[in-house]
Structure 1
Amino acid sequence: MYRFLLTPRWLGYLALTVAAAMVMVLLGNWQLDRYRDRTAINDRIDAGSRGAPAELGRILPAPGGGAGRAGPPPAAETAWQRVTATGRYDTANIVLVRNRSVEGRAGFEVLTPLVLADGSAVLVDRGWVPPTPGGSAMTQPEVPAAPAGDVTVVGRVHLSESGSYPVERRDGKLETRRVSVPKLARELPYPVYGAYLLLDTQDPPADPGFVPVPVTRENNVLNAAYVVQWWLFAVMALVGFGWVARREAHGGAPGRDKPLDRAAEPVAPAAP
């Protein structure tokens, strides 16, 4: 009954079905990896919100070399951990990161190097500020003053961002579109840690003109849904092939022409 499956045509159908199912399984596996990666990020974000912050030097490797050098990039597992550091803000080298959105509004994130006692520095994202009223997206905003003297900060580790955006100095401030720590370090007169900090709290307190940059959780639920979707499609493809084959074996589709039983047809009477 199923010998037709060994014909070249049906073997071709089977090969195509199996190949399509394998591709769908691989796509599901890729989405599963994405789900695991994003879940791990969310776990680190949650863990970072609990417990006491660690000393900066215990989490991030110290920068080596001289001025203008960035330290080694930390492991991905260090992202979003809370750390604390004490130093003095270098307001002569403020970094403005333009076109950054907070609560649906585009503005600037303000990074300021915190120079530590050993002469190295870590970039601290002090928060977001809106553009100057009436100005364009390129108009530099009013940046709240940084406290003088020693400052103790607590912040979340943020890995350096990728991108080919240039770093330029305009009106005494560095400007860029992405926070690439190695590129920014080249413009600074001291070695810089290989990641930067999103400010949580500081002593003395931060200026209320800053809007804290939120820590955004990853949407891993969507990846989980895609896993189920691709694997379900793979099963449907195989089941569909089996259904079509069974229908073919049992006479084909409903309404398909069948051989006529001539013996069952009425015989017309002969003409007189």
Structure 2
Amino acid sequence: MVVYRFLLTPRWLGALALTLVAAAVMVLLGNWQLDRYHERTEINERIDAGRRMTPVPLRDAVAAPTGPAGTVGQPPTDEKTWTKVTVTGRYDDSNVILVRGRSVDRTVGFEVLTPLVLADGTAVLVDRGWIPPAPGGDATAQPVVPATPAGQVTVTGRVRPGEGGSVPVARRDGKLETRRIMLPRLARELPYPVHGAYVLLDEQTPAADPTFAAIPVGYTNNWQNFGYVVQWWIFAGMTLFGYGFFARREARRRAGVTPERPTDRAAEPASV
């Protein structure tokens, strides 16, 4: 192995150090993407489980708010997100919330949230579905929202945490408008304490107005993360392989070994 002593020179030791660092970074990036793959897989599994499960009372998924009017309760845990729940109350038609800039089938419109006031005086926001803008206007033209059923309403749907952000909330033509479902910000506009999650409507008694389109549930692209895992780990292996390849080629050069050249068959005399 005398021929490989050149690997102990500063140049080759530096190349080895860079190779190991690069490979280690790539392995760590692969591990990070693997964690993301597991996280997103768990989210998809909770979505599927929520779709199949028997509904449970709202209180089993998210705690009731305990503060005064205008405050919001604790958000649901990750394990309780997407739980299918059932809850009964009365819709507050005077505080409809329009969430603009939402697309269904490539058409931009509004998600319509309406507070469902419960017997204890608290409220949970119910996402009743999607409707298009008013005809003849642009994507911000406020639609005509179907009226809510009078009296007691029983809602079945899945628990969702609020969205982040700090966009403004404004009242226009008697309705609140925003671009994000920011529960703490929306709660400040409402005259009761609000649960720390909203309910994505699946079923309603009395039946929901057919004008509403169901909000599509977006699964996370966990396989993209898995592809990144494979990609980074392959790059790490190729980096180590490349160092070994160039080291072996240098060793053969120093040993005076020249690569064999392929025989030029065209130059050989033709056999008679």
1:28 aligns with 2:30: yes
What residue identity is the alignment partner of 1:230? W
Q: Deviations over 1:140-183 (max 9, x none)?
A: 11111111100000011111100111111111100000001110
- Determine whether 1:126 maps to 2:128: yes
Per-residue displacement from partner, 1:119-147 (whole Å, max 9, x unpaired)?
00000000000011111222111111111
Task: Give the match's secondary structure for 1:189.
Answer: coil
| Structure 2 counterparts to residues 52-201 of structure 1, below 5 A | 52-201=54-203
Cα drift, residue 254 of structure 1? 9.2
- When the two chains are superposed, the root-mean-square deviation of aligned CA atoms in Å is 1.4
What is the alpha-carbon distance in structure 2 between the residues aligned to residue 119 and residue 254 of structure 1?
88
Q: TM-score, normalised by structure 2?
A: 0.92
For 1:132 and 1:27, the matched residues in 2 are separated by 47
Deviation, structure 1 residue 103:
1.5
Counterparts of 2:49 and 2:82, CA distance in 1: 8
User: How far apart in 2 are the matches of 1:106 and 1:138?
Assistant: 9
- Mark the CA change 1:134 to 1:55 in structure 2 (over 3 Å): closer, same or farther: same
Shift of 1:51: 2.5
SS in 2 for 1:87: strand
Give the corresponding residue for 2:18.
16
CA distance in 1, matches of 2:257, 2:55: 71
Counterpart code for 2:119:
A
Structure with the greater alpha carbon radius of gyration = 1
Question: Number of residues paired by the alignment?
Answer: 256
Distance in 2 (CA, whole Å) between partners of 1:200 and 1:131 is: 22
Matching residue of 2:269: none
Q: Among 42, 50, 53, which residue is 2:52 paired with? A: 50
2:109–2:140 CA contact under 8 A, matched in 1: no
Counterpart-to-counterpart distance in 1, 2:90 and 2:20: 64
After TM superposition, the score normalised by the length of structure 1 is: 0.92
Q: Show structure 2 runs of 5+ residues with no match.
A: 260-272
**How far has the Cα of 1:14 moved from its partner?**
0.6
Question: Which secondary structure state, in structure 2, belongs to the residue aligned with residue 70 of structure 1?
Answer: coil
| Structure 1: unaligned runs, 5 residues or longer | 257-272
Residue identity opposite 1:40 in structure 2? E
> In the alignment, is the contact (CA less than 8 A) between 2:252 and 2:258 conserved in 1?
no
% same residue? 65
Structure 1 letter corresponding to 2:182: S
